[in-house]
Every structure is written in C-alpha cells, then in structure tokens.
C-alpha cells in the first residue's frame, strides 16, 4: 500500500524556518528519520521511503503555497494514489502553537494551499494534519505573521512537536486516520 504525504510550504531561502513552512519541516524530518532524501521532481521535491511495509511518497511542492494543488494533483495521478491515502501537512492559525489535529476532510479554513488542493483535485476528501502556529499577531498582520520566523521560545518547542507530527504520519500509514485521530487528537 502506498501513501502520498504532502508538506505544504514555499520554496526559497527567505521562507526557510517560517511558520507557513512547517509542512516542509515535518516532511524533512519524516524523510530524514526514514533515511531517505528528496530529489527534484516534476512540480515538487519528492522522496520515497518505507515504514513498516508501507511506501510513503513525500512531496514538497515547488509551486509555492497558492498553487500547491497542481503538484498534489500531478503526484496523485502519477503514483495512482487515492484521496484516502493522501495526508497534507499544513500550518493552522486557528490552533495554538504546537496543537496537532488530524482531520479526515474539511474546509480550507481560508488556507490558500488547501484552497488550491480543493480546487484542482476536486474536493475536500483527503486527510490533513494541522499544526497549530497560534494567532498572536496584530489585526491586519496575518501575512507577516505566517511568513515570519518562530520566536526563540517557540523554536525550543519545535523539535518535540515536529517529532509528534512524524509519529502521527507513521500512525496514519500503519493504522489509518480514524485510529490515529483517536490516539493523538487530544
């Protein structure tokens, strides 16, 4: 059985370590932990790794956040992966920092990466792992906040939180979304 794990983010040095790129950071940690590496592929960096007999195709779209759907659609078709075996890793302003929530489907909640996937792939029937980045920003400064770096205290917490996200991805691939949500969505 194979899965498509999609880390959302933006390419380019100016985006490394930003809140909006937490999907890329989680994807990097997953692939590195399973002793894989990314290669430049069509519309995305792609890695193929295995976990407990499951093939995980991990992508980091090179289309920038707002066009992520193009990459997801291409790789789903190229690898013949059904929507129920897709997991999107995404930052979420509506959750406090470090709160992780897996959902089987749902709206984009205003997230441009999810909106693009919804539009291009034709629906909301794919799992997503939402990584809370908090909402501690002045009114009208949302873009600045999500494209900003985590502060010093937040950075201290990130390794543990990213490892928990990786555990959730592995769980998704081995026992499924429903049981993973029961175990981790607390």
Per the CB < 8 A criterion, the answer to whether 7 and 26 are in contact is yes
Catalytic option among 20, 46, 57, 111: 20
Catalytic residue list contains 57: no
The whole-angstrom separation of Cα 44 and Cα 65 is 12
The whole-angstrom separation of Cα 139 and Cα 70 is 31
The whole-angstrom separation of Cα 92 and Cα 76 is 24
Match 């693009």 to its residue by tokens: 116
Please report the sign of the dihedral spanned by the C-alpha atoms of residue 25, residue 31, residue 37, residue 41.
negative
State the burial class of residue 73 (Cβ atoms within 10 Å of its Cβ: 0-12, 13-18, 19+): middle
Pairing of strands 127-132, 86-92: parallel
Q: Which residues are annotated as catalytic? A: 20
């Amino acid at each position: 059985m194979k899965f498509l794990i999609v880390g959302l983010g933006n390419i380019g040095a100016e985006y490394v370590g930003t809140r909006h790129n937490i999907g890329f950071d989680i994807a990097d940690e997953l692939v590195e932990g399973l002793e894989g590496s990314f290669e430049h592929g069509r519309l995305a960096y792609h890695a193929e790794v295995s976990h407990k007999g499951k093939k995980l195709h991990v992508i980091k779209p090179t289309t920038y956040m707002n066009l992520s759907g193009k990459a997801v659609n291409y790789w789903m078709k190229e690898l013949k992966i059904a929507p129920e075996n897709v997991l999107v890793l995404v930052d979420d302003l509506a959750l406090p920092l470090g709160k992780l929530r897996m959902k089987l489907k749902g709206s984009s909640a205003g997230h441009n990466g999810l909106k693009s996937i919804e539009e291009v792939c034709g629906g909301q029937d794919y799992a997503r792992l939402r990584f809370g980045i908090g909402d501690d920003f002045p009114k009208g400064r949302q873009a600045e906040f999500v494209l900003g770096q985590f502060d010093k205290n937040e950075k201290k917490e990130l390794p543990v939180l990213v490892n928990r996200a990786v555990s959730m991805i592995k769980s998704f691939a081995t026992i499924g979304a429903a049981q993973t949500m029961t175990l981790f969505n607390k």
